[in-house]
């Protein structure tokens, strides 16, 4: 090789090394501008509550503003699509839930793939639903309710916050797992469903624990069990459905933070580390528990496994339900 060729090769290698080093420095300097955390639901909802809880803490540790951007609509599809199609640079994140990530794409053709289009960062919380019945129902346990619902004369109606909602699918999964017959009555939101439950117009429902507890404590509804695999820290006296005679039953309304697919691994790792640390802080855990949520945590891989498991479960459940009934 000639001297000129040697010099040229050395120069090229040096340029590549410098370019690589510059890229590594840019990644390690993250973040250098504000970060948008999209909440694809209306203000006041559970996902937004969690986003606004961790946002200021993340701002402090990262040294850049973390701005919560509510983009509600189409059951979470609109805001989720915005995040899915954003640049994978760590500056757009999204709150994912069982609804907008695991369920919605199964009900209709969504403009995003819940697995291929996102990089899971961290699971932030889990909120149980509560199987509640009107006091007129002669059942004080899940076993008694199953026996009651199996009687054709009972004609049990269960309320949900809407066709295709988690509360609807929780009821459908209960029907298939426990082997009972119940008629689904959809409402336009959890509030109207609870009102009719309290009024005795429907006999049962799977209700967010915070919505249910005031009525349970006031004797207007009777709580039979929570849908999560463990008892809720906010109501530890209420057993789980699984331990009450329906083994294998589990419905988790989870939330977590995701980034667009292709976001650099070191950025995902740093965000996971920082958000998990925030969730682990005593004051943050106490606020989550007071809201009815069980604090999350874990690795991106564990969060990804939760998402895939939920998609598979609801896919199996929806095979037993007419899609027209859940849209």
Per residue in 30-56, pLDDT tens? 999 999 999 998 887 889 999 999 999
- Tokens read off for 246: 């329906």
Under 8 Å CB-to-CB from 96, ≥6 apart: which residues? 80, 118, 120, 255, 256, 257, 258, 307
Residue 248 backbone class (left: φ over 0; alpha: ψ -120 to 50; beta: rest): left
263 contacts 208 by C-beta, under 8 angstroms: no
Between CA 265 and CA 275 the distance in angstroms is 15
Average the pLDDT over 228-241 and give the result. Answer: 94
E-assigned strands of the chain?
Answer: 35-39, 66-70, 92-97, 118-127, 129-133, 157-160, 183-186, 204-208, 222-226, 253-260, 294-297
pLDDT in tens, 137-178: 999 999 999 999 999 899 999 999 888 889 999 999 999 999
Specify the pLDDT at position 86: 97
In which band, very low, low, confident or very high, does the pLDDT at 114 lie, cut at 50, 70 and 90? very high
Domains of the chain by range and CATH? Answer: 34-126+253-318 (3.40.190.150), 129-251 (3.40.190.10)
The sheet with strand 129-133 has its strands ordered as 183-186, 157-160, 204-208, 129-133, 222-226
Average the pLDDT over 306-321 and give the result. Answer: 90
Which alpha helices (H) appear in 29-141, and where do they start and end?
A: 46-62, 77-84, 104-107
In which band, very low, low, confident or very high, does the pLDDT at 261 lie, cut at 50, 70 and 90? very high
Specify the pLDDT at position 37: 98
The dihedral through the CA atoms of 226, 249, 323, 253 has a sign that is positive
95 contacts 50 by C-beta, under 8 angstroms: yes
265 closest CA partner among 300, 298, 296? 300
Under 8 Å CB-to-CB from 31, ≥6 apart: which residues? 62, 63, 64, 90, 91
Average the pLDDT over 122-142 and give the result. Answer: 97
Residue 220's Cβ-count burial label (10 Å; 0-12, 13-18, 19+) is: middle
Between CA 226 and CA 250 the distance in angstroms is 9
40 closest CA partner among 112, 109, 89? 112
pLDDT in tens, 265-305: 999 999 999 999 999 999 999 999 998 899 999 999 999 99
pLDDT, the chain, mean? 89
Specify the pLDDT at position 210: 85
Specify the pLDDT at position 324: 47
Specify the pLDDT at position 22: 42
């Amino acid at each position: 090789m000639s001297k000129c060729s040697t010099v040229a090769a050395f120069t090229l290698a040096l340029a590549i090394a410098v370019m690589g080093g510059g890229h590594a420095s840019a990644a390690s300097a993250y973040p250098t501008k504000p970060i948008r955390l999209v909440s694809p639901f209306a203000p006041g909802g559970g996902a937004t509550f969690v986003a606004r809880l961790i946002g200021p803490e993340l701002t402090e540790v990262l040294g850049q503003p973390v701005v919560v951007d509510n983009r509600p609509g189409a059951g979470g599809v609109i805001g989720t699509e915005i995040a899915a199609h954003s640049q994978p640079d760590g500056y757009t994140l999204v709150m994912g839930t069982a609804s907008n990530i695991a369920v919605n794409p199964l009900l209709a053709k969504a403009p995003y793939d819940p697995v291929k289009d996102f990089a899971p960062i961290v699971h932030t919380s889990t909120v149980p639903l509560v199987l509640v019945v009107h006091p007129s129902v002669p059942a004080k346990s899940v076993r008694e309710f199953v026996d009651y619902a199996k009687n054709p004369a009972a004609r049990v109606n269960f309320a949900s916050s809407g066709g295709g909602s988690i509360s609807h699918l929780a009821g459908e999964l209960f029907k298939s797992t426990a082997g009972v017959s119940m008629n689904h009555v959809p409402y336009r939101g959890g509030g109207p469903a609870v009102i009719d439950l309290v009024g005795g117009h429907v006999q049962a429902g799977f209700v967010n624990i915070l919505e249910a507890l005031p009525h349970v404590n006031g004797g207007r509804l009777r709580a039979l069990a929570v849908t999560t695999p463990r008892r809720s820290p906010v109501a530890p006296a209420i057993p789980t459905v699984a331990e009450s005679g329906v083994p294998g039953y589990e419905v988790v309304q989870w939330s977590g933070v995701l980034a667009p697919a292709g976001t650099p691994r070191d950025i995902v790792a740093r965000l996971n580390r920082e958000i998990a640390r925030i969730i682990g802080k005593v004051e943050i855990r106490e606020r989550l528990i007071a809201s009815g949520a069980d604090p999350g945590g874990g690795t991106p891989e564990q969060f990804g496994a939760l998402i895939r498991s939920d998609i598979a479960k609801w896919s199996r459940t929806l095979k037993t339900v007419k899609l027209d009934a859940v849209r």
